[in-house]
């Protein structure tokens, strides 16, 4: 099993709710995804130390092939086309 973790920092913080809804739809509708969890940061950015993003998505795929297919899926492409503008996106993939 593969986990794909993405941390999003949005340019426009007023778009967080809409973006979360979009991520939740991807998790429900993409047949490549086994499980998806979306969360919103509840803390404030500290003056020093690590950068905290706005939204996180943790997605599980059954194998590496499904992970590799995901960026081209219609659900992910919709995020890219209709999603809000990002300041940064950080991601990591790992085997569980």
Q: What is the pLDDT of residues 16-58, one digit of tens each?
A: 999 999 999 999 999 999 999 999 999 887 888 888 999 999 9
Domains of the chain: 2-95 (3.30.70.100)
pTM > 0.75: yes
**68's torsion region: left (phi>0), alpha (psi -120 to 50) or beta?**
alpha
Position 5 pLDDT exceeds 90: yes
Instruction: Report the mean per-residue pLDDT for the chain.
Output: 96
Position 92 scores a pLDDT of 98
CA 31, 33, 35 angle in degrees (round to 5)? 130
Among 22, 10, 24, 30, CA closest to 82: 22
Return the percentage of the chain with pLDDT > 90, whole number. Answer: 90
């Amino acid at each position: 099993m593969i986990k794909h973790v993405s941390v999003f920092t949005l340019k426009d913080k007023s778009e967080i709710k809409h973006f979360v809804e979009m991520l939740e739809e991807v998790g429900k509708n993409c047949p490549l995804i086994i499980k998806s969890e979306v969360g919103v940061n509840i803390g404030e950015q500290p003056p020093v130390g690590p950068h905290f993003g706005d939204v996180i998505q943790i997605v599980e795929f059954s194998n590496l092939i499904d992970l590799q297919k995901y960026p081209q899926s219609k659900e992910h492409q919709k995020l890219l086309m209709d999603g809000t503008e990002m300041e940064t996106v950080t991601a990591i993939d790992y085997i569980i």
